[in-house]
């Protein structure tokens, strides 16, 4: 049986005209090339080259088999390219869980861009304010906000520290005026959470206890919609609220309200190439968005 490597040596010498030039092309010693050519000729019982002091010339029979050798080379290269392309092609379904507001602001735009790079990856976006159980396979990846997840089975990557402040609709601000401080927010009706232990409710109870609660909502997306509709003011992430048309930030970011965000997965999920590709790409896009937003804020503050 012929060895493809023997054909490589044959083609290199046929194209360069010498074992020295072929050895440089193949990155082996000249003696190795000479030995392999001789062994190849003996194996097929055909003299392929005429040895001359000036180099190697193809014999008529060498000339005759050269096109066939080149066809084998083309087929091998095509096969190699196909294997390499297949190894680069990532495919599969990735389930990513997060809150609706983060999905709208970051994940959905990122997934749209991801399809250009990896068209065979499908991302299912699960939106809920309740944590899914990654260890039980309810999702592959999650973007979570709040205290760092501490389950031993989870792989946790810090994603962002979100500054937060109070926002209200333009119409409400025109009617009630801009507050001078947190206590001055008492004249604003508030949109609160239905969860009495939420950070939003605790902050309102401590700092604006006399505020009228005009609406309670069960999710961040519902709170945002309530603020946009003019029902009241509420606390929103600055990276989202600052970009929402029709909303005005009432106060500078409140350091006490800074909320960390985390990219969370399991070791088993992270080891799957298509899941890792989604994690890396979404993180890259979020960090790019944050960097652009930080630059814009710096320009505005400098102005």
CA distances from 165 to 40, 90, 202, 256, 257 (A): 78, 40, 14, 10, 7
Predicted confidence (pLDDT) per residue in 23-82, tens digit: 998 899 999 999 999 988 998 899 999 999 889 999 999 999 888 888 888 888 877 766
The pLDDT, as a whole number, for residue 88 is 59
Predicted confidence (pLDDT) per residue in 202-233, tens digit: 999 999 998 899 999 988 888 999 999 999 99
Do the Cβ atoms of 151 and 122 come closer than 8 Å?
no
Highest mean pLDDT: which range of 88-92, 176-180, 278-282: 176-180
The count of other CB atoms within 10 Å of the CB of residue 19 is 25
Domain edges within the chain: 4-88, 92-162+259-302, 164-257
Separation between Cα atoms, residue 155 and residue 263, nearest integer Å: 8
Cα-Cα-Cα-Cα dihedral sign, residues 200, 206, 211, 213: positive
The pLDDT, as a whole number, for residue 300 is 37
Predicted confidence (pLDDT) per residue in 96-142, tens digit: 999 887 888 888 888 888 888 888 899 999 988 788 899 888 999 99
Separation between Cα atoms, residue 256 and residue 56, nearest integer Å: 81
The pLDDT, as a whole number, for residue 302 is 36
**Domain 92-162+259-302 class, CATH top level:** alpha beta
Cα-Cα-Cα-Cα dihedral sign, residues 262, 266, 269, 270: positive
Residue given tokens 């989202």 in the structure block: 240
Which pair of structure tokens corresponds to residue 96? Answer: 């990513």
194: enclosing H helix or E strand: none
Do the Cβ atoms of 193 and 216 come closer than 8 Å?
yes
Put simply, whether the predicted model's pTM sits higher than 0.85 gets the answer no
More confident residue, 243 or 57: 57
Separation between Cα atoms, residue 18 and residue 12, nearest integer Å: 9
Say how many Å lie between the first and final Cα of the chain, rounded: 77
Separation between Cα atoms, residue 251 and residue 178, nearest integer Å: 8
Residues in the chain: 303
Which of 203, 177, 179, 174 minimizes the C-alpha distance to 191? 203
Q: Which residues contact 55 (CB under 8 A, 6 or more apart)?
A: 17, 18
Residue given tokens 């360069």 in the structure block: 16
Which of 175, 187, 176, 299 minimizes the C-alpha distance to 242? 299
Which pair of structure tokens corresponds to residue 183? Answer: 């206590």
Pick the CATH number of 164-257 from 3.90.1150.10, 3.40.1350.10, 3.40.190.10, 3.20.20.70: 3.40.190.10
Please indicate whether the domains covering 92-162+259-302 and 164-257 agree at the CATH topology level.
Answer: yes
Which pair of structure tokens corresponds to residue 198? Answer: 């939420």
Residue given tokens 């196909």 in the structure block: 82
CA distances from 192 to 31, 189, 243, 263 (A): 82, 10, 21, 26
Q: Which CATH architecture has domain 4-88?
A: Orthogonal Bundle (1.10)
Which of 230, 224, 228 minimizes the C-alpha distance to 188? 230
Separation between Cα atoms, residue 280 and residue 284, nearest integer Å: 6
Assess whether pLDDT exceeds 50 at residue 146.
yes
């Amino acid at each position: 049986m012929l060895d493809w490597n023997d054909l490589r040596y044959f083609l290199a010498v046929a194209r360069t005209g010498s074992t020295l030039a072929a050895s440089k092309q193949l990155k082996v010693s000249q003696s190795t090339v000479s030995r392999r050519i001789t062994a190849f000729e003996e194996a097929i019982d055909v003299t392929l080259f005429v040895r001359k002091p000036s180099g190697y010339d193809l014999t008529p029979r060498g000339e005759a088999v050269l096109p066939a050798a080149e066809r084998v080379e083309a087929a091998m290269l095509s096969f190699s390219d196909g294997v390499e392309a297949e190894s680069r092609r990532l495919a599969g379904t990735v389930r990513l869980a997060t809150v609706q507001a983060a999905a709208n602001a970051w994940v959905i735009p990122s997934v749209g861009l991801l399809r250009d790079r990896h068209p065979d990856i499908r991302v299912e976006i699960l939106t809920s304010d309740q944590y899914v159980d990654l260890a039980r396979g309810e999702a592959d990846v999650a973007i979570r906000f709040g205290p760092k997840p501490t389950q031993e089975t989870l792989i946790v990557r810090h994603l962002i520290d979100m500054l937060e402040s109070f926002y209200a609709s333009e119409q409400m601000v025109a009617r009630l005026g801009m507050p001078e401080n947190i206590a001055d927010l008492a004249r604003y009706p508030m949109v609160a959470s239905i969860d009495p232990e939420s950070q939003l409710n605790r902050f309102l109870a401590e700092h604006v206890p006399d505020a009228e609660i005009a609406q309670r909502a069960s999710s961040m997306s519902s709170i945002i919609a309530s603020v946009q509709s003019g029902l009241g003011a509420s606390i929103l992430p600055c990276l989202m609220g600052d970009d929402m048309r029709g909303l005005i930030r009432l106060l500078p970011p409140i350091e006490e309200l800074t909320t960390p965000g985390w990219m969370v997965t399991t070791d088993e999920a992270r080891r799957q190439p298509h899941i890792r590709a989604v994690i890396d790409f979404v993180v890259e896009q979020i960090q790019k968005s944050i960097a652009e937003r930080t630059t814009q804020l710096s320009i505005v503050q400098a102005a």
